[in-house]
Structure 1
Amino acid sequence: MHKVVEVNGVRLHVEDQGQGPAILTLHGGPGLGSRHGDARTFGVFANEGYRVVSYDQRGNGESDGKPPYSHEQFIDDAEELRKALGLGKIVIAGGSYGGHLALEYALKYQEHLAGIVLRDTAASNAYQHTSKERALASGLPGISEDMLDRLFGGRVASNEEFKEMYRAILPLYWVESTPEQLEAHLNSITFRYETHNWAFSINQPKFNLVHRLKDIKVPTLVLVGRHDWITPLEASEEIAREIPNSRLVVFERSGHSPQIEERDKFLTEVRRFLAEVLPVR
């Protein structure tokens, strides 16, 4: 069910599926992410006794844009949404940049969590040089050092430029893809460059939670594609090493999106984890 929920002065567009113990998803890609991918992936569990809540974060998708777009604001929005919808104790699932936010949420609101699912993410900005090197080495047209520096430095000038930059790097995200698939994905996105610029010029330069991961006591499932270029395998290995009660699963034939490239295995691993930490009564 689609609904609009007002929290902290913004109207958030929400997909609320199923009944039962709740999974709250946090999408990645600030300025280009939305609720739809998570609603499709985790929505499977709405047919298995869970309540699945996915939403466009402020400044993303159809939701209102209103600064600040800080990690603190994003996770406080998540907490207010949890309370507004009466979700109780939840599993929080964050992919890519949403994984940054899931970790931040866990460090502030751990008492509200039964478990954490992290997909292709990192606990610091330390791997940006790795992704830049991989992008430059790809030889893809449209990728240059200047473009990458402006994109990942949060200096994008317009939504049109944002779309063209993303078009250039999009093939890097997949092990296998066709031009038609990439173009369809590109055209499904609502680009909001101001949100992206805030995230990458203000949030990312100071982002480092590695030394605090040991404080997360909640069971954590860490999922990553072996061929991920932007949040590489070693970033997930670090998270799994530092969070005491965690398990790492590597998807051998996936890039940044094992939930799509190895969907059945992804769902099997999440299903197993949910049964352990938030069983359906």
Structure 2
Amino acid sequence: MTASNAHHDGMTPDTDPLSPGTHTYELAGVVQRYHVHGTGPVCVAHSGGPGIFWEYLRMPALEDHLTMVYVEPVGTAEDSRLPSHPHGYTRERYSSFLEALINRLGVPEVHLLGHSHGAFVAAYHALHRPGQLAGVVLYEGAPVTGPEHGAEAARMVEAFVAKHAGHPGLPDVLAAFEAMSGMSSDEDTVAVARGVLPSYFADYWGDEEKFAPFRDAVRATYISGLDENLTPDVVDDRAALKELTVPSLVVVGRHDVICGLRWGLELDDLIPDSRLLVLENSGHMGHIEEPERFADAVRDFVRETAPRGQAA
């Protein structure tokens, strides 16, 4: 099903929920926005952070083949914040908002792509609300958070430091990582997100002229990672993923420091019949670093797993 022939589901007759542009509605007193670009089978994209604004995840190479529905996760825009902000943004909360959004689109099943923290959300949604999904793309995710994940990230950052020893930009990247644990405001979060970004690419400084505008455009809101009761929303999906029934594509950049190759391989090993794409020349931002290879893999996965009548 393409955007042009989607039927209406609870919307006013003159409002196609998959028409190009920005869509806004209210759910439980919170504003939810999503942004539609492209044509073809529907792929809902959930950005990361939590708290990073959705724009960084634009995928023009995919929009040539798919109707990309970019979710603006609740909490990022000021009018979309929970009463408990900056707390309460659990995976269950994000998934419940995703369920409502997907229901509004009027398509029997969609593909769901989650990047970084969005991949944790996508995995949760596929485990708990699989009926809406024709397939799920776990892009730079991991089966766990917590000390084990942190230790692996620290190891990868050390490797990044060794590789770029003496580079004049390195102290600023390390200072941003040091500041990460003390973030408490939107300003802090933007500074850290932009500050660490060179380490999120396979070779940021090798093509800084290309990547610097992307870095400068990153916007972010501070979200704590705690639930309403100030308890961490810790992830351990290892046991559950062994029972995942939704067709799955795992995408990971070989040089990713934060959700690196170890986790991509483990996700692929845990999930029955999953597919794995390792982007050899990418870090955490393969849709920017290797857009054609990324788009080809996602497009092919969607085509091969789309419900009959919806294939591109």
- TM-score per shorter chain, which class? 0.7 to 0.9
**Structure 1 consecutive aligned stretches of length 4 or more whose deviation exceeds 6 Å:** none
Q: CA deviation at 1:181?
A: 4.5
The answer (yes or no) to whether the contact 1:230–1:256 under 8 Å persists in 2 is yes
RMSD: 2.4
Q: Give the gaps of 5 or more residues in structure 2.
A: 1-20
1:213 to 215, 221, 241: 241
TM-score, normalisation: structure 1: 0.86
Within 1, Cα distance between the matches of 2:59 and 2:26? 19
Q: CA deviation at 1:122?
A: 0.6
Aligned residue for 1:97?
A: 117
Aligned residue for 2:171?
A: 141
Aligned residue for 1:169?
A: 196
Matched, 1:64 2:80: yes
Against the structure 1 CA distance between its residues 61 and 44, is the aligned structure 2 distance closer, same or farther, given a 3 Å change threshold? farther
Aligned residue for 1:108?
A: 128
Matches within 5 A, 1:33-44: 33-35=53-55, 37-38=57-58, 40=60, 42-44=62-64
Tell which structure's C-alpha radius of gyration is larger. Answer: 2
Matched, 1:245 2:273: yes
TM-score, normalisation: structure 2: 0.78
Helix, strand or coil for the counterpart of 2:172?
coil
Q: Structure 1 vs Structure 2: percent identity of aligned residues?
A: 27
Helix, strand or coil for the counterpart of 1:208?
coil
Helix, strand or coil for the counterpart of 1:28?
coil
Instruction: Report how many residues are paired.
Output: 271
Q: Give the gaps of 5 or more residues in structure 1.
A: none
Aligned residue for 1:189?
A: 218
2:150 to 128, 149, 163: 128
Aligned amino acid, residue 280 of structure 1: A
Helix, strand or coil for the counterpart of 2:65?
helix
The answer (yes or no) to whether the contact 2:114–2:120 under 8 Å persists in 1 is yes
The answer (yes or no) to whether the contact 2:61–2:292 under 8 Å persists in 1 is no
Matched, 1:53 2:78: no
Within 2, Cα distance between the matches of 1:63 and 1:75? 19
Within 1, Cα distance between the matches of 2:290 and 2:192? 26
Against the structure 1 CA distance between its residues 149 and 129, is the aligned structure 2 distance closer, same or farther, given a 3 Å change threshold? farther
Within 2, Cα distance between the matches of 1:235 and 1:63? 35
Within 1, Cα distance between the matches of 2:258 and 2:225? 17
Against the structure 1 CA distance between its residues 58 and 97, is the aligned structure 2 distance closer, same or farther, given a 3 Å change threshold? same
